[in-house]
Amino acid sequence: MTTTQFDTIIDNIGQLLTMDHGDGPLKGGAMNSLPVLENAALAIKDGLVAWIGTHEDAQSMKATERIDAEGKLVSPGLVDPHTHLVFGGSREHEMALKQQGVPYLEILKRGGGILSTVGATREASEEELLTKARFHLNRMISYGVTTVEAKSGYGLDRQTELKQLKVAKQLNETHPAEIVSTFLGAHAIPPEFKGRSDEFLQEMLDLLNDIEKEQLAEFVDIFCETGVFSVEQSRQFLKAAKEKGFSVKIHADEIHPLGGTEMATEIGATSGDHLVGASDKGIAALGATDTIAVLLPGTSFYLNKGKFANARGMLEAGAAVALSTDFNPGSSPTENLQFIMNLASLQLKMTPEEIWNAVTVNSAYAINRGDSAGKLIKGRKADIVLWDVPNYHYVPYHYGVNHTNTVMKDGCIIYR
Ligand code: NIG
Ligand code: FE
């Protein structure tokens, strides 16, 4: 019996999702297992998980604060591995175009879409961007997310891309949530480089020296799509970024099936994201390699094309699947990762076990945080969500509302 004085004990936990699977992302059939402790308790000391055991054992233990989970669900803080968190303005004015059936890439071609947000982001001050990103981040946290990937990509010029990345860095330093930064300078071709996409990509590659010097991003990403960057351009760009020491990700096969999924696996990308149009060959390659499939069903829902990524095929092929909001002002304006869990259930036909693994363990690996986030095991950061639900099946089932009761980061309550 320990005599340690803990900071906090969370007691009377109906189901505790420890995600204690051992090392590495979960692939294929392994995603269907979920380590669950019933009638459990968890103790926190110095911001870390210090003890996990039964409700009975917890009764004799001492803590400064006790939280009664009332027999409900407790999970690790969720990890959102693909967001465009920092941007100026919004795009509600494009809704009418969408309703008229104008395609997403056509809006972009007309200078709207991503380029509309580029204009607003260039105009915004660092302070304005910071205030706005903090607002969206707080909302993400309210839905149970404690670790967030954040991309640049609404500057498309040196000054604004650095401004976005600096905002993400400041947020990471001043906000309790952890932010992992990705440079997405290759998100669209800005008007001043129209017809000169290779030159533009070179300009963005040159920026990597500054980004590395100031430690402004860990990942480099590119939008590989018809009318934006080709598979070959993307391959060369990401390979060059890898040579400079960055990990890489890719927006691949989001709208048109170009073969970006295969390419992502060939170059050893940490993740391939979207993958709605992934070919059978691409899906097989995901199963055979370590590239994580980050699926974004909120974007498929919002683009309203009636087609979702082939998650079941990917799981059968043995791939590691993660889930994300893709939070951005155009194709997925939502901070709500719980809604993505609902869509994964209904549209991707994923099981509750696969879904929970996809928003914790695998999403942490998708942003190189597999060793520090996404699990509740002794010695890990106490990033914890107390849910107002009776069991883990409930969150992917009951949609459109927020099920969190309390969200903790490093052992401190950041939302209740
Ligand atoms: O993941 N497709 C490229 N990027 C984002 C959308 C960005 C935007 O529309 O502002 C995406 O869908
Ligand atoms: Fe995206």
Between the CA of 77 and the centroid of ligand 1 the distance, in Å, is 25
Q: Where are the alpha helices (DSSP H) in 244-336?
A: 260-266, 280-288, 297-303, 311-316
| 223 within ligand 1 shell (Cβ under 6 A) | yes
Determine the pLDDT at residue 154.
98
What is the rounded distance in angstroms from the CA atom of residue 66 to the CA atom of residue 2? 17
Strand 404-409 to 219-222 pairing:
unpaired
Task: Out of 84, 110, 305, give the residue to mutate to test ligand 1, the one with the largest number of ligand atoms within 8 Å of its CB.
Answer: 84
Residue 333, pLDDT > 90, answer yes
> Average pLDDT in the 389-416 region?
98
Residue 291, pLDDT > 70, answer yes
Between the CA of 164 and the centroid of ligand 2 the distance, in Å, is 15
How many C-alpha atoms does 204 have within 13 Å on its Cβ side? 33
Report pLDDT digits (tens) over 21-59: 999 999 999 999 999 999 999 999 999 999 999 999 999
Integer-rounded Cα Rg, in Å, for the chain is 21
Q: Which atom of ligand 1 has the smallest separation from the CA of 223?
A: 3
Q: Whose Cα sits closest to atom 1 in ligand 1?
A: 326
Determine the pLDDT at residue 230.
98
Q: Which atom of ligand 1 has the smallest separation from the CA of 108?
A: 9
The pLDDT mean for the chain works out to: 97
Between the CA of 223 and the centroid of ligand 1 the distance, in Å, is 8
How many percent of the chain have pLDDT more than 70? Answer: 100
Determine the pLDDT at residue 363.
99
How many percent of the chain have pLDDT more than 90? Answer: 99
Determine the pLDDT at residue 124.
98
Q: Whose Cα sits closest to atom 11 in ligand 1?
A: 331
Residue 2, pLDDT > 60, answer no
Ligand minimally distant from the alpha carbon of residue 87: 1
Task: Out of 224, 328, 332, 340, give the residue to mutate to test ligand 1, the one with the largest number of ligand atoms within 8 Å of its CB.
Answer: 328
Determine the pLDDT at residue 334.
98
- Phi, psi for 235 (deg, rounded to 5): -60, -50
Q: Which atom of ligand 1 has the smallest separation from the CA of 104?
A: 9
> Average pLDDT in the 218-240 region?
98
Determine the pLDDT at residue 229.
98
Length of the chain: 416
Q: How many CB atoms lie within 10 A of CB 121?
A: 26
Among residues 338, 273, 325, the alpha carbon closest in space to that of 299 is found at 325
Q: Whose Cα sits closest to atom 5 in ligand 1?
A: 331
Q: Whose Cα sits closest to atom 6 in ligand 1?
A: 331
Residue 1, pLDDT > 80, answer no
Between the CA of 303 and the centroid of ligand 2 the distance, in Å, is 13
Determine the pLDDT at residue 76.
98
**pTM for this structure?**
0.98
| 82 within ligand 1 shell (Cβ under 6 A) | no
| 88 within ligand 1 shell (Cβ under 6 A) | no
What is the rounded distance in angstroms from the CA atom of residue 303 to the CA atom of residue 386? 32
Residue that the structure tokens 């055991």 belong to: 53
Q: Whose Cα sits closest to atom 3 in ligand 1?
A: 223
Task: Out of 151, 251, 296, give the residue to mutate to test ligand 1, the one with the largest number of ligand atoms within 8 Å of its CB.
Answer: 251
Q: List the beta strands (DSSP E) in 199-334.
A: 219-222, 247-252, 271-274, 292-295, 321-323
1-15, 83-97, 128-142: range with lowest mean pLDDT: 1-15
Report pLDDT digits (tens) over 51-88: 999 999 999 999 999 999 999 999 999 999 999 999 99
> Average pLDDT in the 319-344 region?
98
Structure confidence at residue 3 as a pLDDT band (50, 70, 90): confident
